A and B are shown apart, each in its own frame.
Chain A
Amino acid sequence: MELSHITFGYPGRMLLRDFSLSLPPGETIAVIGPSGCGKTTLLRLMAGLEMPLSGSLTGIPPEGVSMVFQENRLVPSLTVLENLALVSPRSSRKALLALLAPLGLAEEGDCYPAALSGGMARRVAIARAAALGSSLLLLDEPFTGLDPENRERAAAFLRERFAGAAVAAVLHHREETELLGARSITIPPL
């Protein structure tokens, strides 16, 4: 993915000015910076949810983007497995269960999101990103609500599943950056 001389902001509030970034396949970057500096906005631009005011952005995969949003955004009327099947309709039940097991969710396939704890729902959102298996993975605070054990488990899962993908993550803690083996970048202040 290539972001070239991107300028973006909302009326009365500029967030990015002449921002460039190259994210080749197999590389993981961690976007760090103070709250409100535009980290989530950068991910939204990379996901195609926002259009830059100027500059160019290339490399959004045609199959879609594996994204873990700040909120879990699971479909409440569908079970965990159905949520995964939604983004990967051709995958078998067995293949989808194989995504849940390494995250400690082997028994939760037929549960509805409302029946899950916050940490479980977060891991389902991570499993859904893996179910699509895009060549671009965007993670917005992916480890929120996870205890240290599950944080390590989720990071190992993501590293393995997205080994050859371009990965951009908004992370809060330095240890999370290390868990993902990411290179840190900052959004320059305006």
Chain B
Amino acid sequence: MDTLPILRRAWIPGLWLLLWQGAALLVGEELLLPAPLPVLGRMAALLGEGRFWLACGHSLGRILLGFLLGVALGCLLAVLSACFPPAGAFLAPAMAAVKATPVASFVILALVWLRGENLSIFISFLMVLPLVWQNTSQGIAGADRQLLEMARVYRLSPQAVLRAVYLPAALPHLLSALRVGLGFAWKAGIAGEVLAIAPSSIGRQLHDAKTSLEMVDLFAWTGFIILLSVALERGMVALLARIFPGKEGS
């Protein structure tokens, strides 16, 4: 059995924790850099608090809802762009603008239109929409021309062409967008919650910890954001591998 990966798994995070501890001792001021033990202790304590689960549930629910809406509309618009190229040309600058605009600009604009708790739905939706649209469009455009000719000659139904030619071409691109997009949506959604001070959310807890200078709390919540981000990505990879074996995207 190869022991190196196990050792690596155990020692590398331990080494980072030691470095963090050393840095905290060097700084010597919890307000600037709390040590890992109090942060880990606070994380353990948060697990026993109802508001922790409520905040996590609300943030996950809203961000995943925005993510799913972005995926659905992105796919629909990609199909529309493939069927009707002027629609693709029309959408391209808007999608490029959405991709290039900083999250903070959207949050500030959206705050005028939306209530705080709905903002993270909108932000995560916006993060995913252009990514899914662009990747799926690329996949559809890359569909095998020879197979499309075969489909024409054999008079295959549009559903059969979609299943046999377009879907296999678009799927790896779409799956790759789903993996990357979920991470984007999560981080941008939390940033949106912080700026919008969305009630009962992880972003709100971060905001409160910052304003009350509770650095241990700030680090503990950040730790959970990272853990949830990793869990979401792994969950997505596992789900895609189960639904589409061998095509999880890269």
Contacts and interface: CB of A to CB of B under 8 A. Distances in A.
A87 interface: yes
A73 B152 contact: no
B25 interface: no
Contact of B152 (A48, A63, A75, A77): A48
Interface stretch (B5-13, B153-161, B226-234): B153-161
A132 interface: yes
B249 interface: no
A5 B227 CA distance: 73
Given A86-B156, A86-B160, A87-B156, A69 B150 contact: yes
A65 B147 contact: no
Contacts of B155: 62-64
Contacts of A86: 154, 156, 160, 164
B146 interface: yes
Interface string B109-143: 00000000000000000000000000000000000
A65 B153 CA distance: 6
Contacts of B160: 86, 89
Among B146, B154, B165, the most chain A Cβ lie within 10 Å of the Cβ of B154
B149 interface: yes
A88 B87 CA distance: 34
A77 B154 contact: no
A49 B164 contact: no
Q: Could you tell me the dominant secondary structure of chain B's interface residues? A: helix
B168 interface: yes
Contact of B154 (A67, A71, A78): A67
Contacts of A24: none
A102 interface: no
B147 A64 contact: no
A136 B20 CA distance: 76
A64 B164 contact: no
Contacts of B146: 69, 71, 73
A129 to B, nearest CB: 9
Interface of B: 146-147, 149-150, 152-157, 160, 164-165, 168
23 contacts: A49-B149, A49-B153, A64-B154, A64-B155, A65-B153, A65-B154, A67-B153, A67-B154, A69-B149, A71-B146, A73-B146, A73-B147, A73-B150, A75-B147, A75-B164, A75-B165, A78-B164, A86-B154, A86-B156, A86-B160, A86-B164, A87-B154, A89-B157
